[in-house]
Copies of this chain bind each other. A is one copy, B any other.
Amino acid sequence: MVAAMKIGILGTGTVGQTLGGKLVELGHDVRMGARDAANAKAAEWTAGAGPHASQGTFADAAAFGEVVFNCTKGEVTLEVARLAGEDTLGGKVLVDVANPLDFSRGFPPSLSVCNTDSLGEQLQRALPRTRVVKALNTMTASLMVDPGQLAGGDHHVFVSGNDAAAKVRVVELLKSWFGWRQVIDLGDITTARGTEMILPLWVRLWGALGTPMLNFKIVR
């Protein structure tokens, strides 16, 4: 039995639709935010997802959510954070699922930030009063919400963040909402460098194995 919550989703792409869809299914109220309150992709998703789904601006979704997911493309994440509003997101848990993928040189993508900084850190600096937790950025969308599809869920999701209580909360939600069995808390938000920097390997594994339905298990 899961208590119904209000969730904000920033972004209208596959990740936002997949997370939002699963959360509506679980009985939560989900507001999907976009630049334009009448965004067509959000409207289509909302129409299909039923009465617990709604749409609005980034600021609307940020204000609505007790927990907010950043599901935007990395290239616009910081702009979206400004549009959502530093005050609006102040004190809230923001789960950062974005990756700083740069397709400007074609495929495979490089990263627009890495090594001595990360998108997760940039987002935390842009929103100093928000409790940013990097998570779920290391697998394809359908696995985020249903890890049991692979090996009965015997593989890992990582969390990074400066606020210990926010990480504990996110770990609980990952387990109770999506069925994650194995979560590793890597440490503060600087550890997001590590999870963002495995994207280049992830993309090549997709190529080598011919499927994005893959994930990392940490064997010890």
Contact = CB atoms under 8 A, between A and B. Distances in A.
Interface of A: 105, 110-111, 114-116, 150-151, 154-155, 158, 184-187, 191, 193-195, 197-198, 200-205, 207-209, 211, 213-220
Nearest to A184: B208
A164 to B, nearest CB: 13
Interface of chain A, helix or strand or loop or mixed?
A: mixed
Nearest to A200: B194
Listed from nearest, the 8 A-B pairs whose CB atoms lie closest are A194-B201, A155-B219, A217-B217, A194-B200, A214-B220, A197-B197, A194-B204, A191-B204
A186 B204 contact: yes
Given A110-B115, A186-B204, 6 more contacts: A115-B115, A194-B201, A194-B203, A195-B201, A214-B220, A215-B218
Contacts of A220: 150, 209, 211, 213-215
A89 to B, nearest CB: 26
A130 to B, nearest CB: 22
A31 to B, nearest CB: 33
B216 A216 contact: yes
Contact of A201 (B110, B151, B197, B205): B197
Contact of A151 (B114, B214, B219): B219
A218 B207 contact: no
A183 to B, nearest CB: 11
Contact of A214 (B154, B214, B219): B219
A197 B116 CA distance: 12
29 contacts: A110-B115, A114-B115, A115-B115, A154-B219, A185-B208, A186-B201, A186-B204, A186-B207, A186-B208, A187-B204, A187-B207, A187-B208, A194-B202, A194-B203, A197-B198, A197-B200, A198-B198, A209-B220, A211-B220, A213-B220, A214-B218, A214-B219, A214-B220, A215-B219, A215-B220, A216-B217, A216-B219, A217-B218, A217-B219
